C-alpha cells in the first residue's frame, strides 16, 4: 500500500496541470496579419498592359512588405496600416495622395481615415490639399486633437501645426488624372469615375497583441463637385476597427457604402450574429449590390483572418501573415 501511495503521488507531480501548454506551444510566437487594397472596379486583363500589371503588383507588394516589417518586429497594427498606406499614397498608380483624381474645378482634394480597434479611437480628414500623407494627418487628428473629423482649410492648418510634411498641390497631380478629367468633361459623362475604377487605398491589420486597426485614403471621384465626400473618411462606412470583431477598409461607390454603413455593419454582424468575416462581408456586399452599389472590402480580425469580398471584375489587393502566407492579386479569377 505504501508503494502504491508513493507511485500515485509521483504521477501527480509529473502530470501537467490542466490546460498547461507543451514547450512547443509555449514557445510559439503570436501571429500577425495584414491585408491591403488599392481600389476595385472594371479591372480586367485586357484593360491593363503587362507593364501596368507588373508595376501595380510591385507597388502592392511594397506596401505589404512595409506593413509586414512593422508587425514582424512586434509593432502595432496602427503603425502597420499607416506605413502601408503611406507607400500607396506616394505611388501614382493609385487614387490617393500622389495620383489622386481631380475635382471638376481641377484640384486634388484628399480624404483619409484611421481607426484603432483597441480603443475605437478614430481620426479622419477631408478636402486636404497640401499634406503629403493624409493618413498621417488623420492619425494626428485622432491622437493630438479632441476631435474625430476635420475638413478643408481647418485640416490643412492643423497639419501645419502638427509639423506634418507639406507639399505644393502640384505634387499630387499626374498627367493621366488630368486626361481622365478632360475626357469626362468633353464627353459630359456622369458623376462616377471615367473608367469605373475606384482607386481608394486601404489597409487592415492585426498585431501580435491581437489588436486590429484600419486605414483608408483616397482622392475621391474624378470630377467630384460641391465638396462631395465619399465613404473612405466616414467612420463606419469606409473605415472601421473594433477588437471585439474585426477591421474593415472599403473601396467603391461611396454613396452606397455610406447608406449601408458597410464597415460597421460587417463588424456588427460578426459581433452580434457570430458570422465569420467572410460571411459578414459577403452579406453586406450583396445588400450593397442590390441597391446598385459596386466595390469591395478587405477584412481581418483578432483571430488573424485575412479576407476580402468584392462585386467588381477586379480589385487591387494583397495580404501577408506571420505564417509565411503572402499574396498579391488583381483579377477576380485569381481567387
CB of 195 closer than 8 Å to CB of 42:
yes
d(CA 194, CA 175): 15
To 10 degrees, the CA torsion angle through 25, 204, 298, 91? -130
Specify the DSSP element, H or E, that contains 332: none
83 sits in which H/E element = helix 77-89
Instruction: Take residue 58 and report the three cell numbers written for it.
Output: 510591385
Instruction: Clarify whether 33 is annotated catalytic.
Output: no
Q: Which residue has the cell 465569420?
A: 276
What is the residue-wise DSSP string for 26-79? HHPPPP-EEEEEEEEES--GGGS-HHHHHHHHHHHHHHHHHHHHHHHTT--HHH
Three-class secondary structure of residue 113 per DSSP: strand
* CA pair distance 202, 204, nearest whole angstrom: 7
Give how far the C-alpha of residue 65 lies from the chain's centroid of Cα atoms, to the nearest Å. Answer: 15
Containing H/E element for 270? helix 262-273
Catalytic residue among 103, 126, 174, 200: 200
Ramachandran category for residue 261: left, alpha or beta (phi over 0 → left; psi -120 to 50 → alpha): left
Residue 329 exposed, middle or buried by CB count within 10 Å (0-12, 13-18, 19+)? middle
CB 240 within 8 A of CB 268: no
Known catalytic residues are 200
Amino acid at each position: 500500500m505504501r508503494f502504491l501511495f508513493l507511485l500515485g503521488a509521483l504521477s501527480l507531480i509529473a502530470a501537467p496541470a490542466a490546460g498547461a501548454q507543451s514547450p512547443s506551444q509555449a514557445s510559439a510566437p503570436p501571429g500577425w496579419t495584414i491585408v491591403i487594397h488599392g481600389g476595385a472596379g472594371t479591372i480586367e486583363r485586357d484593360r491593363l498592359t503587362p507593364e501596368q500589371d507588373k508595376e501595380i503588383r510591385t507597388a502592392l507588394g511594397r506596401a505589404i512588405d512595409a506593413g509586414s516589417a512593422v508587425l514582424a518586429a512586434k509593432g502595432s497594427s496602427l503603425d502597420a496600416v499607416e506605413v502601408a498606406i503611406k507607400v500607396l499614397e506616394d505611388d501614382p498608380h493609385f487614387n490617393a495622395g500622389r495620383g489622386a483624381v481631380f475635382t471638376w474645378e481641377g484640384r486634388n482634394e484628399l480624404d483619409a481615415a484611421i481607426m484603432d480597434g483597441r480603443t475605437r479611437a478614430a481620426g479622419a480628414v477631408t478636402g486636404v490639399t497640401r499634406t503629403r500623407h493624409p493618413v498621417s494627418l488623420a492619425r494626428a487628428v485622432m491622437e493630438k486633437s479632441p476631435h474625430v473629423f476635420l475638413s478643408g482649410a481647418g485640416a490643412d492648418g492643423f497639419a501645419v501645426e502638427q509639423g506634418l510634411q507639406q507639399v505644393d498641390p502640384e505634387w499630387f497631380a499626374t498627367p493621366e488624372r488630368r486626361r481622365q478629367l478632360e475626357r469626362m468633361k468633353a464627353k459630359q459623362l456622369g458623376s462616377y469615375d471615367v473608367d469605373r475604377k475606384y482607386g481608394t487605398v486601404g489597409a487592415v491589420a492585426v498585431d501580435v497583441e491581437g489588436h486590429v486597426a484600419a486605414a483608408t485614403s483616397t482622392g475621391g471621384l474624378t470630377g467630384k463637385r460641391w465638396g462631395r465626400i465619399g465613404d473612405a473618411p466616414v467612420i463606419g462606412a469606409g473605415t472601421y476597427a473594433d477588437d471585439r470583431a474585426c477591421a474593415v477598409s472599403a473601396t467603391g461607390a461611396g454613396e452606397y457604402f455610406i447608406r449601408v454603413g458597410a464597415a460597421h455593419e460587417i463588424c456588427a454582424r460578426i459581433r452580434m450574429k457570430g458570422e465569420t468575416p467572410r460571411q459578414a462581408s459577403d452579406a453586406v456586399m450583396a445588400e450593397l449590390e442590390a441597391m446598385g452599389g459596386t466595390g469591395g472590402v478587405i477584412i481581418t480580425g483578432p483571430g488573424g483572418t485575412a479576407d476580402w469580398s468584392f462585386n467588381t471584375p477586379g480589385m487591387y489587393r494583397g495580404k501577408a501573415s506571420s505564417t509565411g502566407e503572402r499574396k498579391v492579386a488583381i483579377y477576380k479569377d485569381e481567387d
